[in-house]
């Protein structure tokens, strides 16, 4: 694959081997988890390896899957922790109020008065909705900003900026 990293979206990760015949335990980050198979071939972040994916069956926390070129338990184990990426043009277009996490990381965050608060370092989800991890301007600490319409009324991807109205006491 020759895509630039900006053209790749992380769609899943390999959690290790599943069984002894080269299957992997695959976590899908797709809105419809089964769709990960349709975006193949998937590649590593550096593009050095790519894999065709065949989902075998659902298992706790993901899927048992076969990856092209992975034939043994040892090969599957060696891929533990590998994130898998798909080119953006293979993924569905999103509605105006939805964003790929990769598009939010690195955006500047301003308050409703125009003052720079910081920059989005990561997008997290621990089960209760997305949180933006914001590295505060001029500081080493980060804060977790709920990614809700009330706390983040504006996301302007073209201008690479977010307008935030943080909950009282967050900053």
The CATH number that applies at residue 57 is: 2.40.30.60
Split into its structural domains, the chain has a count of: 2
> Is the pLDDT at 128 greater than 80, yes or no?
no
CATH number for the domain spanning 108: value is 2.30.30.240
Please check whether residue 74 lies inside any domain of the structure: yes
Assigned domain for 82 exists: yes
Q: Are residues 81 and 105 in the same domain?
A: no
pTM score, two decimals?
A: 0.72
Using the predicted structure, report yes or no on whether residue 130 has a pLDDT greater than 90. Answer: no
Residue 92: its pLDDT value, please? 85
Q: Which long-range CB contacts under 8 A does 54-62 form with residues at least 24 apart?
A: 55/26, 56/23, 59/18, 59/25, 61/15, 61/25, 61/27, 62/15, 62/25, 62/26, 62/27, 62/28, 62/33
Q: Is residue 83 part of a domain?
A: yes
| Same domain assignment for residues 14 and 41 | yes
Together in a domain, 85 and 107: no
Is it the case that residue 3 has pLDDT exceeding 50? no
Q: Comparing C-alpha atoms, which of 128, 120, 80, 115 is closest to residue 100?
A: 120
Domain housing 117: 101-164
Q: What is the mean pLDDT of residues 58-82?
A: 94
Whether residues 80 and 146 share a domain: the answer is no
């Amino acid at each position: 694959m020759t895509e630039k990293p900006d053209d790749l979206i992380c769609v899943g990760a390999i959690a290790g081997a599943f069984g002894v015949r080269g299957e992997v335990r695959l976590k899908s980050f797709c809105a419809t988890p089964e769709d990960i198979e349709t975006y193949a071939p998937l590649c590593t972040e550096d593009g050095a390896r790519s894999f065709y994916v065949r989902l075998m069956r659902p298992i706790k926390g993901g899927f048992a899957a076969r990856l092209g070129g992975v034939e043994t338990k040892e090969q599957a184990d060696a891929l533990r922790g590998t994130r898998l990426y798909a080119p953006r043009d293979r993924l569905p277009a999103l509605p105006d109020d939805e964003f790929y996490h990769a598009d939010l990381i690195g955006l500047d965050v301003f308050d409703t008065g125009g003052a720079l608060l910081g920059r989005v370092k990561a997008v997290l989800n621990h089960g209760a909705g997305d949180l933006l991890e914001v590295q505060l301007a001029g500081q080493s600490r980060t804060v977790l900003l709920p990614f809700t319409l009330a706390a983040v009324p504006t996301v302007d991807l073209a201008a690479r900026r977010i307008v935030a109205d943080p909950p009282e006491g967050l900053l």
